[in-house]
Structure 1
Amino acid sequence: MSLVIASQFDADFNEALARHPSRPVIVEAAADEPWASAQDADVLLVMPSPTWKRRPAPRPDPWPGRLQWVYSGSAGIDFYPEWLLDAPLVTCGRGVASEEIADYVIAAIYAQAKDLDAATVRSREEWGPKALGQVAGTTIGIVGLGAIGSAVARRGLALGAHVAAVRRSGMQPGVTGVELVATLAELASRSDHIILALPSTAQTRNLVDAEFLSRVRPGAHLVNVARGAILDQEALLDALDAGRLGFATLDVTEPEPLPAGHRLYTHPKVRLTPHISSNYLRVRHRLLEKVLDDLSRYLRGERPSDIVDPARGY
Structure 2
Amino acid sequence: MKNKKTLMILALAVTLSGVMSACNFGGDDPAETVEVTPTPEPTQAPDPTPTVAPDAQSTTYTSTDRSISIELPDATWANRSDEGDLISFESPDQGRILIIHGEGAEDMASAVIPSTEDLAVSLEQASDLVNGTDFEIRRYSATNVNGVNVYSYVTRMLNTEKSGGYSFVINKYFANDNEYYSITASGINGSQRAYNRLAEAVDSFQILGESTLSVATSTQSADGTSSEDGQTAASNNGVTPGRPSDDIISDNTKTRTIYRNSDGQPIVIKIDNDGNWVDDDGNTYRFANQWDVYDQNDVDYYYHGEAADVYYMPLPDSE
TM-score normalised by the shorter chain: which range applies?
Answer: under 0.3
The structure whose RCO (Cα within 8 Å, separation 6+) is larger is 1
* Structure exhibiting the larger radius of gyration computed from Cα positions: 2
Higher helix share: 1
TM-score by length of 1: 0.25
